Chains A and B, each alone.
Chain A
Amino acid sequence: MKTLLGGNDAFFQGALRAGANYFAGYPISPTTEILTLAAERAEEQQDFHFLQAEDEIAAAIAVVSASLAGAKAFTATSGPGFSLMQEAISWGYRVEAPTVFFESQRVGPSTGAPTFPAQEDILQAMHGAHGTYYPLAFYPNSPAECYTLAVTAFNAAEEAMQPVIFLCDGYVSHLYEPVDLEALEIPPAVPRSRPPLGTGKRHFTGIAADEEGIPRTGNPQVQEAWVRKVKKRNEEVAKRYPLYEYKERDSDTLLISYGSTSRVVAPLQERFSHFRPIRIFPVLKEELRKACEGYEHIVVLEANDGQYAMLVEHAIGREVEKIPLLGGKISLSRIKEPLKEVLGVELEDVL
């Protein structure tokens, strides 16, 4: 049966479907609905645990710690909270903790313009924390996809044994559509990859250490071997999820957009080809190269000043046109003029 479901609600339901049983967080719009749902769930179900921490730093540390203790753990935040979480995320990469960080973007920097949508934390999702690590990030554009992709994110976290960033934005978080959860095709949940507390030898440290958890800071080979191991694992897992949408039209123009921007430009997709990355990291290099072949114009539309466009340019080895949608309003009327300028065509009929 179809019910009206919002992006945040759908992500939370998907997390439960994936087997998540621990949430720690600190309220922040546009994700507070998830924290509220988690608190209600913990009240109803004894096997679901909830912590409202004193801030996002503590919440992120609790999430990584709960993962090490055997829970499927996650949090939900927005830009300012995501910044505070970066050190714990770095620790999560180091101790190989499968975790999911839901990040619904709003206009920044700093407090910015809550709770209006943005896509300004793309590069932060790639390398917001310090050190060498390999990100995995997904970005849905509908409540239904928030649900299915949540399961994918938790599965990928278990398989890659690392934090996975679930990117979102204010519009997708607060977009409500009828969804029949039972009718959606969902991958089976991957079981916990880490043995629970009380089994085997356990020593977790943020210091560069060998497989036994013994610090080996003076041994570059140990660190290098660790980097090679986690890189290989990340690449293998990423290959299982080459998620994107490509709509080909009889056009010399390819538009690239993702998240809520890809929904807003839907009327343009009848006229121009369109590529929507769903797996944001690792960047879909091969898929982008193939999709971009033969187009005179490649235009990246995003609610930031060219963050993903820069990655596309790097992937395909040529410059692209950029249309930034800044300030918290993602609309076709704001795209019309700059797109007209880039392509030299009238767009009245699509508005």
Chain B
Amino acid sequence: MKKIVISGEGGQGIRFIAHALAVALIQLGYHVSLLYDYDSAIRTQKSLAYLTYDEKPIGSPMVEVADIMLMLSKKEDKVCARKIVCESGLCTDEQVPFSELGAEKFGGAIFGNTIALGHLLKMIGVDIGKLDMEKTFPKKLFEENIKAVRFGYEFEHLESRE
């Protein structure tokens, strides 16, 4: 069983990342549970996605100790994680300038979340070559998102910062 928490704030695409990741894992035959927990003030308030996947059916969808946490803002500090990947400056584990890379490489900071998704897919060992991309990603900005995912997936070879 693997437990992942994606943490950020409304407007950062937390649900986009989590949904695509869940769809990818279902394609690979896993049982998946994805729970969204957010403040309905929405923008700039905390937004969390708890994702659990396993080869067996999943009991609790709540994650309190994650194997990996992707942190895009510091609205939530109550989740423990064995490994944290974060937007630069938010943690002392692995820091990646996702927003900066999104703006620099793809013309918008928002693509930082797609780069983060690619990075996450790599970290959990998903072979993205096996995924049906059309089923995994929304039609809107499809080509750009695919490129950003691939960029994030290969990112560690470029400039991983520990």
Binding site for B on A (CB under 8 A): 2-4, 29-30, 113-116, 170-171, 174-178, 263-267, 269, 330-333, 351
Contact = CB atoms under 8 A, between A and B. Distances in A.
Contact of B39 (A3, A116, A267, A269): A116
Interface in B38-89: 38-40, 58-62, 64-65
19 contacts: A4-B26, A114-B40, A116-B37, A170-B37, A171-B35, A171-B61, A171-B62, A174-B36, A175-B34, A177-B32, A177-B34, A178-B31, A263-B61, A264-B60, A264-B62, A266-B59, A332-B60, A332-B64, A351-B65
B127 to A, nearest CB: 20
Nearest to B38: A115
A265 B62 CA distance: 10
Nearest to A173: B36
Given A175-B33, A263-B61, A4 B38 contact: no
Given A174-B35, A267-B60, A332-B64, A2 B26 contact: yes
Interface residues of B, number: 21
A177 B64 CA distance: 19
Contacts of A176: 19, 22, 32-36
The 8 closest A-B pairs by CB, nearest first: A266-B59, A114-B40, A115-B40, A29-B40, A176-B34, A174-B36, A266-B60, A178-B26
Given A4-B26, A171-B37, A267-B59, A178 B64 contact: no
Contacts of B34: 4, 175-177
A290 to B, nearest CB: 25
A263 B19 contact: no
Given A176-B34, A264-B62, 14 more contacts: A4-B34, A30-B40, A115-B39, A115-B40, A171-B35, A174-B36, A175-B34, A176-B22, A178-B32, A263-B59, A263-B62, A330-B62, A351-B64, A351-B65
A283 B62 CA distance: 28
Nearest to B41: A114
A331 B38 CA distance: 15
